Amino acid sequence: MKSKRIGHGLNLVQHSYLLDSVKKEDICIEVCPVSNQLLRYVTDIRLHPLKNFLNYGLKVAICPDDPGYFGVTAISYDFYFATIGCELDLKDLKLCVHHSIFGSLLSEK
C-alpha cells in the first residue's frame, strides 16, 4: 500500500514475513509505550516489542498517543518508559530520533 509509517504494529513480532516486508519496504513503526501500557496492549512494559524491532533492523519512532485523552502532552514520558522498560541505550534512543525524522513524511527540503 506504499505506507511510510505503521502505527503501533505490536503484533508484527508474531509474523516474521511481515517483519521482513516492513524492513524491505523501509517502513517506520510508530511505538507508543505509555499508551500501550495504559491500554493494556502490553501487560508489562518490559515485554514491549520495541527493542525487538530495533534488533531486527526496523525503523522505529517513539511517539506519544492520545494526548488529549491521557492529558500528557510531552513525549519525554514515552522516551522514559522506552528507556527503562525496554532497556534502550543512548545509541538506541538516537536511532529512534533519527527514524522519527525519516518517517515524519516531511519533504527533503
Answer yes or no: are the C-beta atoms of 53 and 22 closer than 8 Å: no
Residue 62 grid cell: 517513539
Q: What is the per-residue pLDDT for 72?
A: 66
Domain tally, the chain: 1
**Residue 109 resides in a domain:** no
Q: What is the per-residue pLDDT for 60?
A: 94
pLDDT tens, position by position, 34-91: 888 888 899 899 999 999 999 999 999 998 877 666 666 677 888 998 999 999 999 9
Q: Which domain holds residue 23?
A: 5-102
**Residue 59 resides in a domain:** yes
pLDDT tens, position by position, 2-46: 778 888 888 888 888 999 999 999 999 999 998 888 888 998 999
**Residue 62 resides in a domain:** yes
**Residue 108 resides in a domain:** no
Q: What is the per-residue pLDDT for 13?
A: 84
**Residue 17 resides in a domain:** yes
Q: Is 103 exposed, middle or buried (0-12, 13-18, 19+ CB in 10 A)?
A: buried
Q: What is the per-residue pLDDT for 70?
A: 66
